[in-house]
Amino acid sequence: MTRLHLHLLSDSTGETLEMIAKAALAQFEGADVDRHFWPMVRSHQHLDRIMGEITRNPGLVLFTLANMEIRERLEAKCRDAGLATVSALDEVTRRLSSLLGQEAHARPGRQHRMDEAYFARVEAIQFTIAHDDGLMWEEWEEADIVLAGVSRTSKTPTSIYLANRGFRTANIPIVVESPPPRTLFGLKKPLVVGLTTSPDRLIQIRRNRLLSLNQAPETDYVDHDRVEKELKFARRMFADNGWPVIDVTRRSIEETAAAVINLVNERQSGLSKGNTGPKPV
């Protein structure tokens, strides 16, 4: 299979392009794509510097550039190099302009204004990274969400996704031989959510993880009886503390995070008052 080089050029952070590229590439199973990110391209000099890298790795150039001079310079240079270019927002912007009856304002990164929500999201990401895998448990009361589950139940990637949505998220591995700190059972502010999965799926994920690390794939870590014991231990803990439970067996990270956010919203609106047991989702 031929490798495709995909160049993403933006006059801002490149988040919009990254999401568009991710959504589009998801339609092509097994595609061998090497993505190159070029954010904050706001001058001719900057563009000229990165064009050398682009021509050395020719491929599709996807861009969002508000400055017409820089955009035209990019398109001209790509034409000369025989490279295809796509402006990611042109068609949407044209349609909106027609329907709204007004011209679009060409302001770089306008969709990412440095408002309070932006800074809250940055702070949430920093908090979440610092409180991954049971770290800094003394500060869990400051979290919005605490995810609990045995090893390889997608706690960390789900936490990062939630942080990108502005939720300060901590996570803790549930280990039979090493009970979590007592702080976990007395939290008031954060919503504690238990993550669980099927034994067979968990064993498959763990075995793949061991293989990726060049470790023996047959250990207690993937023993069926031991894995079942771990999951039962975790589920009992969730039930004893009345924490809602999400089964991640057939859920993507995005779907799991959406289920967590729904639980947060229910809690905030008071819909979940009176529940005494774990709530499977």
193 annotated ligand-binding residue: no
Q: Are 88 and 63 in contact (CB under 8 A)?
A: yes
Question: Tell me, what DSSP letter sits at residue 64?
Answer: E
154 is annotated as contributing to ligand binding: yes
Contact 8, 17 (CB under 8 A): yes
Q: Please report how the helices 224-241 and 199-212 are oriented relative to each other, as an axis angle in degrees rounded to 10.
A: 120
Spatial contact of 158 and 199, defined as CB atoms under 8 Å apart: no
Is 276 annotated in some ligand binding site? no
Residue 118 burial (CB count, 10 A): 12
On whether 156 is known to bind a ligand per the annotation, the reply is yes
Is 152 annotated in some ligand binding site?
yes
CA–CA distance, 263 with 32 (Å, rounded to integer)? 37
Instruction: State which H helix or E strand residue 85 sits in.
Output: strand 85-87
151 carries a ligand binding annotation:
yes
The DSSP call for residue 43 is S
Residue 150 counted as an annotated binding residue? yes
Q: Which residues are annotated as a binding site?
A: 149-156
Q: Which residues are annotated as a binding site for ADP?
A: 149-156
